[in-house]
Amino acid sequence: MHPVTLSRDARVHSADGGRGRPAGRSRGFTLLETLMALVIIGVGVLAFVDAQSAFTRSNNWSSQSATAMLLANEVRELSRRLPRHDSVTGLTIAQAGGVSTLRGWGSEGGEITVSDIDDLDDLDGVRFGLGGVFVGPIDAFGNTIPQIAMDGAVISDEGEPVPLEGWTQRVIVEKVDPYNFNTVRADAYEQAATGSLPFIRVDKFPLRVTVVVEFQGSGESQASEVTRVTWVVAD
């Protein structure tokens, strides 16, 4: 009989009873490697969620900022047609019993609607919207700006448009020094004549108007300022 010659692989397989691992067989994941992979994937998912949340917050703030600027400029446009003080009553200081009383600052009697506002000092302390005497926010014509549905239709309640939800326009009117608009004077202030400065009557001072636009979202306990716009009316 001729001797049988076995290959090296066959001899190894025969020697270990067939229990040898075939060459080239890949090793499986260990538990530690699996856990590390899960941690890496989890960190990636959390980073994505956080980035998405930051993008949403940024987008919401940009939208709110644009809306607030629009609302502030609506009040500014409304004020362009108004004189500084009432053309009938004016702004005067009355003397009675040695006591000086300022008359004419703020809304006059009977001015209860937006259309009754006929001078700038009428706007001092006025709020259009939440917590205010007047419904708001308003546009440059004094009309209430309505809430708009997703389909572009105006949302109404019993035939009346629902005001833009959560928004408020708050107005501050101040007398300022004619030589320095950053210096606020009292409403009843008059400038006495001096060697270098002329007498300035109580109603001849520039007025600084500031519109503060605030927003209160659903679930929020109070409104937050979004933007403010300030300008000076000198005459």
Contact 215, 223 (CB under 8 A): yes
- Reported as a single tens digit per residue, the pLDDT across 65-81 is 899 999 999 999 999 99
> What DSSP designation does 187 have?
T
For the chain, helix, strand, coil in percent to 5 are: 25, 25, 45
- Reported as a single tens digit per residue, the pLDDT across 170-185 is 999 999 999 999 999 9
Residue 166 backbone phi and psi in degrees, to 5: 90, -10
Contact 160, 143 (CB under 8 A): no
Q: Identify the helix (H) or strand (E) that includes residue 47.
A: helix 31-79
Q: Which residues pair with 176 in a beta bridge?
A: 184
Q: Against a cut of 0.85, is the pTM above it?
A: no
Q: Please tell me the predicted confidence (pLDDT) of residue 7.
A: 52
Location of structure tokens 């007025």: 207
Instruction: Report the SS3 class of residue 173.
Output: strand
Who's near 200: CB < 8 A, 6+ residues apart? 178, 190, 191
Q: Rounded distance, CA 90 to CA 120, Å?
A: 12
User: What is the Cα 101 distance to its own chain's centre?
Assistant: 39
Backbone φ/ψ region at 164: left (φ over 0), alpha (ψ -120 to 50), beta: beta
Q: Rounded distance, CA 186 to CA 191, Å?
A: 11
Q: Please tell me the predicted confidence (pLDDT) of residue 12.
A: 47
Write out residues in the chain with pLDDT < 50, as ranges.
6, 12, 14-15
Who's near 76: CB < 8 A, 6+ residues apart? 209, 211, 229, 231
Domain boundaries defined on the chain: 52-233
